[in-house]
Amino acid sequence: MLRLRRPSLRTLALGSLVLVPLAAGGFALQSRVASDGARVFDQVLQLVSDRFVDTLDASTLYERAAQGLVHELSDPYTELLPPKRLQEFSRHTGGRYGGIGMEIGDLGGSIVVSHVFPHTPAEEAGVLEGDRIVQVDTASTRGWKLSQVSDYLTGTPGTKVSVRFARPGVAEPIQYRFTRAVIHVPAVSYSIMLDGKIAYVPLGQFNEDAAEDVASALRRLVTTEGAKGVVLDLRDDPGGILDQALAVSNLFLKDGEEIVSVRGRNTPPQIYVAKDKPLMPSVPLVVLVNGGSASASEIVAGALQDHDRALIVGTTSFGKGLVQTLFPLDGGYALKMTTAKWYTPSGRSIQKERKLLPDGEFIEVHPDSLETDSSRKARPAYKSDDGRVVYGGGAITPDVIVRPDTFTVQEQAFNKLIAAKSPQVYQALANLALDLKPKIKSPSFVVEPAWRDDFFKRLQAANVGVSRGQFDSVSAYVDRLIGARVARTAFGDSTEKRRDLDLDVQLRRAVDLLEHGQTQQDLFAEARQFTAALPKKDSSQ
Is residue 9 pLDDT above 50, yes or no? no
Does the pLDDT at position 540 exceed 50?
no
pLDDT in tens, 74-87: 888 899 999 888 87
State what percent of residues in the chain have pLDDT above 90. Answer: 52
Residue 323 has pLDDT above 80, yes or no: yes
pLDDT band at 306 (very low <50, low <70, confident <90, very high): very high
pLDDT in the model for residue 13: 29
- Would you say residue 7 has pLDDT above 70? no
Q: pLDDT higher for 451 or 24? A: 451
Query: Do the strands 311-314 and 285-289 form a parallel or antiparallel pair, or are they unpaired?
Result: parallel
Quote the pLDDT of residue 97. 66
> What mean pLDDT comes out for the span 254-263?
97
Q: Which of 159-173, 251-265, 313-327 has the highest mean pLDDT?
A: 251-265
Give the pLDDT score at 196. 85
Average pLDDT over residues 39-56: 86
pLDDT band at 474 (very low <50, low <70, confident <90, very high): very high
Confidence class for position 511, pLDDT limits 50, 70, 90: very high
Note if the pTM is more than 0.85.
Answer: no
Long-range CB pairs of 124-130 (<8 Å, 24+ gap) are 125/176, 125/178, 126/176, 127/100, 127/102, 127/165, 127/176, 128/167, 128/427, 128/430, 129/426, 129/427, 129/430, 130/167, 130/168, 130/423, 130/424, 130/426, 130/427, 130/429, 130/430
**Which pLDDT score, from 0 to 100, does residue 541 have?**
44
**Positions marked catalytic:** 295, 306, 320
Is residue 366's pLDDT more than 80? no
101-182 has CATH 3.40.1160.10 classification: no
Question: What architecture is domain 192-322+341-401?
Answer: Alpha-Beta Complex (3.90)
The residues that bridge with 273 in the sheet, in sequence order, are 258
Domain locations along the chain: 101-182, 192-322+341-401, 409-503
Instruction: Report the alpha-carbon distance of residue 325 to residue 495 in Å, rounded.
Output: 42
